[in-house]
Amino acid sequence: MTATDEWTARWVPTQADFDAFADLSGDDNPIHVDAEFSARTRFGRTVSHGMLLYSRLWAVLRQRYPGRRHQMQALMFPNPAYAEEELELAFSQGDADDAGLLAITISRVADGAPVLVGQCRLEAGQ
């Protein structure tokens, strides 16, 4: 990986994704799965689980770097991600001296608002 290694991917999460992640993780907070409840919150609709976002990001990394193990992540979720709204996943090398460290961002395509910001480290590759 070089200092200029940057790439993006797109994804549209669905309510079915939120529901499946709630079933899998046990996190069935109504803000993620109950449209009536969520309509009465400041968000006005269901929002994604933060770790569903990171799980999708990790899946993209696994495709690009098969066999490389995950060593750590540091994440913040500054804005909500909603069902049926396209997201852009962006990746770049975070530090020229640490080829395994990646800066990661997921943003809403419609308004550019970041919904996940952070970094992760992959073990050294072959």
Greater pLDDT, 94 or 115: 115
DSSP letter at 84? T
CATH number of the domain bearing residue 111: 3.10.129.10
pTM (predicted TM-score): 0.88
pLDDT reported for residue 18: 97
Where is average pLDDT lowest: 46-55, 94-103, 116-125?
94-103
In tens, the pLDDT along 14-28 reads: 999 999 999 999 999
The answer to whether position 108 is within a domain reads: yes
Which of 79, 104, 84 is closest to 93 using CA atoms?
104
The answer to whether position 1 is within a domain reads: no
